[in-house]
Amino acid sequence: MRTQVGIIGAGPAGLLLSHLLHLRGIDSVVLERRSREHVERRVRAGVLEQGTVETLVAAGVGERLRREGLVHRGIELRYGGAGHRVPFERLVPGRTVTVYGQQEVVKDLVAARLAAGGDVRFEVDDVTVHDADTDRPHLSFGGERLDCDVIAGCDGFHGVSRSSIPEGVLTVHERDYPFAWLGVLARVRPSAEELIYARTERGFALHSMRSPEVSRFYLQVPAGEDIVDWPDERIWAELRTRLETVPGFTLATGEILEKGVTPMRGFVAEPMRHGRLFLAGDAAHIVPPTGAKGLNLAVADVRVLTEALTHWYATGSTGLLDDYSDTCLRRVWRAQHFSWWMTTLLHTFDSDDAYARRLQVSHLDYVTSSEAAATTLAENYVGLPYERDLADPIPEAPRARKANE
């Protein structure tokens, strides 16, 4: 087999890349080791930046997102017995976020790729990267071979793409946090219209949602915590303790559908390219989920790679491909800092003494009383503008080479 772009991973990054390339007349094959059912049910991020929403709508996969997504024009920071709203609509006019689960984005993209005749292969075994440092890279899987011009590694932190790069090529930056998030998906109407980020002496809590009938909650717990130690009753009791801290607020409870513990870490591998292998999304970087940046960074990477590949196929120039890693990393490191900042602002650390706790509260007071500080939070949360816009509404590259040329 031969294609122009071989894509490893059928998460949001790989599927969106495949679809954007298709709209430009560039062929791709997507290889995914999990089943379609698994990737469409995998609960992950749910807060989409303004630019992510605009990208999906422009790609023609935003109809259900527009219909079912919950548009949020602010968030609440809750601490010290009071709630403080950060109003996006006033601080960054015209910019919002939309709550729409990652699994819903994946469903929309899978449907779009299959409807367009896209080659998306699930339950593919033993994907291996070959000759990425040459101009003839290829992938092998299940006894088959896929020749391609370029390989896109969109297969997540534990995928094969990054691990296939020779030792010493990448510089890895990593920070592990001394706590984790216990995440809960519950069949209960949200108790608030917007996300609540709560800082308490017992630890952080987040009230989020996925739909008008389903809510998402997170609790800060010690790193390495075992989910079996958290029966439903204990989860609801702790959520009430951390969230019912302002007058008149009562947390609604209901059936817990899913729960699990996620470690907190920051990770960046650079450069995000090795020869003809380009890393995107979690394959190259991970952020603590406090800033809601993971999925949005993946979309930003894919936008840059789409533009670079389109330009290369249309003109033969490698300029944008050569700039791919540096362009992406500027946004990645900004998101790393914002995610670290939100995490340290709202979580309790075992090493903190009374001095450190008072500094944290002082910083929260500043963010909630200073328009300049609140604007910094708001503009990072809704998503900074992209360095470049995708070419006008998704044209086909005029001289894109087909796979058999």
DSSP 250-281: -----EEEEEEEEEEEEEEEE-SEETTEEE-G
Least Cα distance to 348 among 232, 165, 203, 240 occurs for 203
Q: Is 98 helix (H, G, I), strand (E, B) or coil?
A: strand
Cα dist from 309 to 64, 109, 115, 160, 190, whole Å: 28, 20, 23, 22, 42
With 0-12 / 13-18 / 19 or more C-beta atoms within 10 angstroms meaning exposed / middle / buried, residue 292 is: buried
Peptide bond into 87 cis (omega under 30): no
Cα torsion angle, 100, 104, 106, 111, sign = negative
Q: Which residues are catalytic?
A: 72, 197, 289, 293, 381
The rounded Cα 139 to chain-centroid distance in angstroms is 26
Distance CA 313, CA 309 (A): 6
Least Cα distance to 273 among 324, 336, 334 occurs for 324
Q: Are strands 150-153 and 5-8 parallel, antiparallel or unpaired?
A: parallel
